[in-house]
Amino acid sequence: MKVLVANLGSTSFKYQVLDMTDESCLAKGAVDRIGEASSHCRVAIGDWSDEQTMPVPDHGVAVEACLRQLTDPEHGCLKDPSEVSAIGFKAVHGGRVSGVQLVNDDVLDAMSEMNSAAPAHNPPYIAAMRTLAEKVAGIPLVAAFETGFHLTIPASRRTYAIPREWTDGWKIQKWGFHGASHRYIATRMSELLGKPDARVISCHLGGSSSLCAIQNGESMATTMGMTPQTGLPQNNRVGDFDPFALPIIMQHTGETLEQTLSRLANECGLLGLSGKSADIRDIEQAAAEGDADCQAALDVYVAEIRRHLGGMLVALGGADAICFTAGIGENGDAIRAAVCEGLSDLGIEIDTVKNAQPDTNALGEATIHSDSSRTSVWIVPTNEELIVARQCCQLLQDQNQ
């Protein structure tokens, strides 16, 4: 079974094709500048790569273009587009609909109901899914919702202190996101530790960041709440924020609620704190050169990670492992060191040499804890595409039984 896993933006279509007989990646590709007069279609299959420039008006045409590259007579990894058993999407927020679902009108309606909760994610996915349902009708579309992994969180940790009808009627609760990444870490760490019931804290740190407390391979707590705007400070999103500050901001700026929310979602986080960049690499460089605002941005980011890390240690009653993943988690040795600094009394110690120069295996995995640390500390690259492909296969198999 071959699955095409899609990662969509409003004007982009990135994908991987996985052969699920051995879970190998057959191809990676992308289509950029969708809707413009000249779009770029790129694909890499083994040692062969191809790039074409053509008009791509919508995501449906983008999929058709990538399928033509994938079925190239000389270099393609597919003989025919019909070899693709499903197109899987790392869908974000379906509210009343979660888990793994075949895309249909009800699923799309449920996602539309959550547009205001995930304004940067849901609208482009919905538009693309509707287009693809018409253009590639012979290939099942599967939505693997990010919220699905967190359905195991106890009610006491996902319920807001609000009237019950808001929770039950409008689904206002802590949903959690980055589900595919945290699910992969849960699975992989169980294998690496040889302990199915391992207590793991997954630190997905990147342009978008969240922590997840995992036990027995299941989510027990996470930092993001009702929307992906909450939890840790993001690259340009505010993270945790007191809603009663909104009237004061609006009073001083004269902006509407919609304008203020847009700024909280696009001009805050690391960008707002630093006043210079949303990229942690730029911020670290400026801080090293003496920029006080950039140093403050790093300090706030680390402090929030540590605050939530402490809560998860309590929720799990300790941890067997702490795992750093995603762009900052995998590459940010200074952030990792700052997060773990002074935690030896909690049994968490990193080796400064290992942290600065990890001895990685073929998958990019490494341990960075000291010999005296009671908790192991890991770097493990995530693989969200593999998780989505596995979920697609399971759904199709269940339906065929």
Is 113 assigned a ligand-binding role in the annotation? no
Is residue 303 within 8 A of residue 297, CB to CB? The reply is: no
**Phi, psi of 376, deg, nearest 5:** -75, 145
Closest CA to 201 of 210, 209, 217, 213: 213
Is residue 338 within 8 A of residue 302, CB to CB? The reply is: yes
Is 327 assigned a ligand-binding role in the annotation? yes
CA dist., res. 393 & res. 373, Å (int): 39
Is 305 assigned a ligand-binding role in the annotation? no
Is 42 assigned a ligand-binding role in the annotation? no
CA dist., res. 11 & res. 251, Å (int): 35
Is 306 assigned a ligand-binding role in the annotation? no
Is residue 368 within 8 A of residue 336, CB to CB? The reply is: yes
Is 236 assigned a ligand-binding role in the annotation? no
CA dist., res. 346 & res. 242, Å (int): 30
Is 341 assigned a ligand-binding role in the annotation? no
Is 157 assigned a ligand-binding role in the annotation? no
Is 384 assigned a ligand-binding role in the annotation? yes
Is 14 assigned a ligand-binding role in the annotation? yes
Q: Give the number of other CB atoms < 10 A from CB of residue 42.
A: 16
Is 235 assigned a ligand-binding role in the annotation? no
Binding region: 7, 14, 279-281, 327-331, 384
Binding region for ATP: 14, 279-281, 327-331
Binding region for Mg(2+): 7, 384
